[in-house]
Structure 1
């Protein structure tokens, strides 16, 4: 029975790759799961692994006396190489562009093991957060025999069934829930002020609309909320979602408003329109992407687009049916075909 080592580092990577581990078991391969010890995300990582029934085979310790990048990398390379030899690994799957993904690919390359790299088809900031930044693609190219852009369809079929208990909304089936998914700094007064003013306008006019705002309640946020949204029973401020809560809640949302494209992969799969808000002070351009519509970050634009979607069902349906901007997305079955191809 062939053994496949799977290496991932973050909760987002875990959600993407765990269905692959289940598929490997179904195909009579032996998955050997290798992850670094989690510190900040330990709790949510445990929840994800439990949800998908995945038990790590090896956990890379983070408790080293000297923790320079050189020493951490050398330690990880040695541990991964030992695992490959001890387990007699036949193939390796690495997820993302993190340091551990690069080191696992390098260790496999040194041991003549075929490597498949799994990435998000939407990117989701992988280039900027990668171990070697924009150079990661060039460095990974000679190490990874395959590069697979794996979608979240299979994973979302499980994560979106979770119940989110801490959301105080009753009769949500009759409401149109709008998720305000703000990733910018909470002290950007003008942006939040315009957004809250748009929400006030919409909730005063459309009683079926509910806004859910997962955000850290800083002094500024509280000040603006009390001044602009005080008494608005259709607006809910909640603690920031972790990734499981976020994906679970997306199933209930009617519309997403965000200043980031991070929401687009989930929104595309679930068929939910997303308004991607661009700060007018940002000179960069942002194009429509699938269910995502790029708009200027202003009260007028926000109100105009929300009212358009609320009043024009045909416009709403047209947006939900826009094709994905990522045709290169591959399925788990296609990935399995590549795993040992020409090996």
Structure 2
């Protein structure tokens, strides 16, 4: 039975790759899961692995982060090389563009093991935080036999069955829930003022609209919320979502408003219109993409677009079903087929 080493570093990578691990088991391969422990995300990583019934085989201790980058890289390379030899690995899957992905690819290359690099679809904002940055392709090209793009469809079908965050909303089935997904700096007074003013205007007129705002309650956020939104029963401030909470909550939403394109992959799969707000100080590349519509970060534009979607059901359905222009992703089966192709 052939063994496949899968190297994970983040919860986002775990969500994307766990369906591949499950399929490997079904196809009589032996997955050997190697994760890099992160203190700040350990809880949600455990939840994701438990959800998909994945048990890590090897864990690179978070205590090692106190070492220098040179020491940590050398130690990781040695640990991964030992794992490859001890487990007698036949193929390796590395996820994303992190340091551990590069080191795992290098260890596999040194041991003459085929490497498949699994990445998010092109244009996904996860790429922006890559450890290797713009040099990823140049560094990985000699090491990875295959570089494939894997979508979230298999994972979301399972995640969206999870219970989502509870809100005390009366008759929630008849409400239009708007997820306000703001990732910019919480001290951007102008942006927050315009957004809150738009919410006030909409909730004054449309009693069926509910805004859910996962955000850190800084002194500025609380000040503006008290000034503009005080007493609004249609607006809920909640603690920032982790990735599981975020994806499971999206199935309840009627609309997503965000300053970042990170929501677009999930929104596209779920058929959920998204308003991507662009302006100074915010993140991401903004243009119309499938269910996503780029708008300016202004009260007028937010209100105009929300009213258009609220009052024109045909417009809402058109955007909801608008296909994405992004390149096709590989299926779980195709990723596995490539592991030993021509070997």
**TM-score bin, normalised by smaller chain:** over 0.9
Q: Indicate the larger mover: 279-288 or 171-180.
A: 279-288
In structure 2, list runs of 5 or more residues that go unmatched: none
In structure 1, list runs of 5 or more residues that go unmatched: none
For residues 184-211 of structure 1, what are the alpha-carbon distances to aligned partners after superposition, in whole Å with 9 as ceiling and x for unaligned? 0011000000000000110011011000
| Structure 2 residue 90 is matched with structure 1 residue 90 | yes
| Structure 2 counterpart of 1:72 | 72
| Structure 2 counterpart of 1:330 | 330
Q: 1:157 to 1:135 in 2, by over 3 A?
A: same
Compute the RMSD of aligned alpha carbons: 1.6
After TM superposition, the score normalised by the length of structure 1 is: 0.97
Q: Indicate the larger mover: 175-184 or 114-123.
A: 114-123
For residues 63-117 of structure 1, what are the alpha-carbon distances to aligned partners after superposition, in whole Å with 9 as ceiling and x for unaligned? 2496000000000000000000001100000000000000000000000100000
Q: Distance in 2 between matches of 1:290 and 1:165?
A: 27
Report if aligned partners of 2:151, 2:329 keep a CA contact under 8 Å in 1.
Answer: yes
For residues 107-159 of structure 1, what are the alpha-carbon distances to aligned partners after superposition, in whole Å with 9 as ceiling and x for unaligned? 00000100000101054334432222100111001111111110000100111
| Structure 2 residue 100 is matched with structure 1 residue 100 | yes
Shift of 1:24: 0.1
3-state SS of paired residue (1:63)? helix
3-state SS of paired residue (2:40)? coil
Shift of 1:169: 2.4
How many aligned residue pairs are there? Answer: 343
| Structure 1 counterpart of 2:216 | 216
| Structure 1 counterpart of 2:149 | 149
Q: 1:281 to 1:85 in 2, by over 3 A?
A: closer
Report if aligned partners of 2:165, 2:249 keep a CA contact under 8 Å in 1.
Answer: no
Report if aligned partners of 1:97, 1:126 keep a CA contact under 8 Å in 2.
Answer: no
| Structure 2 counterpart of 1:274 | 274
Q: 1:130 to 1:333 in 2, by over 3 A?
A: same
Shift of 1:160: 0.8
| Structure 1 counterpart of 2:119 | 119
Report if aligned partners of 1:127, 1:134 keep a CA contact under 8 Å in 2.
Answer: no
Shift of 1:329: 1.1
Q: Distance in 2 between matches of 1:205 and 1:100?
A: 51
Q: Distance in 1 between matches of 2:61 and 2:176?
A: 46
| Structure 1 counterpart of 2:286 | 286
Report if aligned partners of 1:273, 1:320 keep a CA contact under 8 Å in 2.
Answer: yes
Q: Distance in 1 between matches of 2:333 and 2:284?
A: 38
Report if aligned partners of 1:167, 1:238 keep a CA contact under 8 Å in 2.
Answer: no
Q: Distance in 2 between matches of 1:224 and 1:64?
A: 42
Shift of 1:284: 9.2
Q: Distance in 2 between matches of 1:183 and 1:63?
A: 29
3-state SS of paired residue (1:240)? coil
| Structure 2 residue 42 is matched with structure 1 residue 42 | yes
Alignment of 1:1-343 (within 5 A): 1-64=1-64, 67-279=67-279, 286-343=286-343
Q: Indicate the larger mover: 37-46 or 296-305.
A: 37-46
Report if aligned partners of 1:258, 1:277 keep a CA contact under 8 Å in 2.
Answer: yes
For residues 31-67 of structure 1, what are the alpha-carbon distances to aligned partners after superposition, in whole Å with 9 as ceiling and x for unaligned? 0000012211111111111111000000012324960
Q: 1:181 to 1:65 in 2, by over 3 A?
A: closer
Report if aligned partners of 1:91, 1:113 keep a CA contact under 8 Å in 2.
Answer: yes
Q: Distance in 2 between matches of 1:324 and 1:294?
A: 14
